[in-house]
Amino acid sequence: MEKRRKIILDCDPGHDDAIAILLAGQIRYFDLLAITTCAGNQTIDKTSRNAFNVARYLGFGCPIAKGATLPLVQELTTCPSVHGESGLDGFDFPNYKYDFSPLNGADLIIKTLLDNEDVTVVTTGPMTNLALALRLEPKIKEHIREVIFMGGTTDYGNVSPAAEFNILVDPEACYIVLHSGLKVKMVGLNVTRKALVNKEIIAKVRAIGNTASRMVGDLLDVFLENQIKTFGIKEAPLHDPVTIASMIDESCVTFKPYNVDVDISHGPSYGRTNVDMFDYLKQEKNCFVAIDIDSEKFWNVVLDGIKEFN
C-alpha cells in the first residue's frame, strides 16, 4: 500500500476497537486525521473515555470527538458481558484530562473531510456518526475515498440469529451508508470469526515487551476471559482490527463485489445484512464484501503494529 493513507476512525471501544486504534495510529502507514466515537459497546461517555485513553496512551495527538449518544431510530443496546462495565476492562490508564473536540462526532467527520481529499473512513462500531454526517452534508462524499466498516455477515449473527452487533445497534445508519453511492467495504463476522485470540497469541503479544504490548496483553486477557464466560468458547474473535489490517496488507483479506442491503423491517431478521452471493436479484454490486482472511498474515500485522510503539 502507499504510504500515509488518510483515515478517520469512528469507533465504540471496546477491546477490539482499541487494537484497531493502535493499528490506525501507525505513522508509516496512516495519517490518522480524527477519531470519533459513538455509543455501542458501551454508553457514549464510556466509549469516548476509552478512545481517548488508548489514543493518548499511545501518543496520538489527533482530535477526538464524542458522537452519537443513541442510534437513529431505536433505543441503545450495549455489550457489557464482553467488554465490561467500563467498555474496556483490564488495563489501568493514567488519569488524563479529557480534552475532547468542541465538535460532535458527525460535525468533526464533516469538517475533517471537507478539509481533506481522498480520505478513508473506517467504522468499527455502529455507523450512526457517518450516517448523520452524510445526511447533514452530502458534499463530503466527494472527499471520501472509501468506507470500510466492521459489521454484518454473509451467514449468521452474533446477537440474534440474523444480525451482527454493530449493525443491529443501528441498522438504519448502515442502510444510509450502503445506499450512499460511496465505495463501501464490509468486513463481517464470516471472516472476523477466523481472527482468533487465544493464550498463545497473548503470550506472543506480551513477549514484545513494550508499553503497547502491556496494554494489549492486559486487555486481551480480559477479552478472552469474558468471551469464554459468555459464549463458552476457547478462542475469541478480534473483529475490528481486521478493517485496518486489510489496508496494511492487502493480501490479508479477500474482497468480492456483491449487492448488499440491510433489513430495517423491525421483524425477526432486523439488522441482517443480506448479501446476494449468487446474484439472484441482478442488482448493482454496491459493496465489496470480505469473504476470506489469512489469519496468520492478520496476526503478523497486529504483532508488527504493536512493535512500532515504545
For the chain, which domains are there? 5-307 (3.90.245.10)
Gyration radius of the chain over CA positions:
18
pLDDT at residue 3 greater than cutoff 80:
no
pLDDT of 189 over the 80 cut: yes
Residues near 197 by Cβ (< 8 Å), separated by ≥ 6?
Answer: 220, 223, 224, 227, 235, 236, 237, 238
Q: Residue 72 pLDDT more than 60? A: yes
| Residue among 73, 74, 90, 75 nearest 13 (CA) | 90
Q: Of 22, 19, 108, 6, which is closest to residue 63 (Cα–Cα)? A: 108
pLDDT band at 9 (very low <50, low <70, confident <90, very high): very high
Spacing of C-alpha 43 from chain mean position = 16
Q: 310 pLDDT band (50/70/90 cuts)?
A: confident
Residue 2 scores a pLDDT above 70: no
pLDDT at position 190 over 70: yes
Alpha-carbon span 21 to 49, nearest angstrom: 13
Check residue 224 and give its pLDDT.
Answer: 94
Is residue 196 pLDDT above 80, yes or no?
yes
pLDDT in tens, 150-181: 999 999 999 999 999 999 999 999 999 999 99
Whether omega for the bond prior to residue 14 falls within 30 degrees of 0, making it cis, is yes
- Strand segments (E) across the chain: 5-11, 30-37, 64-66, 119-123, 144-150, 184-187, 196-197, 236-237, 253-258, 260-262, 273-275, 287-293
Global pTM reads: 0.96
Q: What is the pLDDT of residue 231?
A: 82
Active site residues: 12
pLDDT digits (tens, 9 = 90+) for 32-67: 999 999 999 999 999 999 999 999 999 999 999 999
Q: Is the pLDDT of residue 210 over 80?
A: yes
Q: What is the pLDDT of residues 237-270, one digit of tens each?
A: 999 999 999 999 999 999 999 999 999 999 999 9
Query: Looking at the predicted structure, is the pLDDT value of residue 220 above 90?
Result: yes
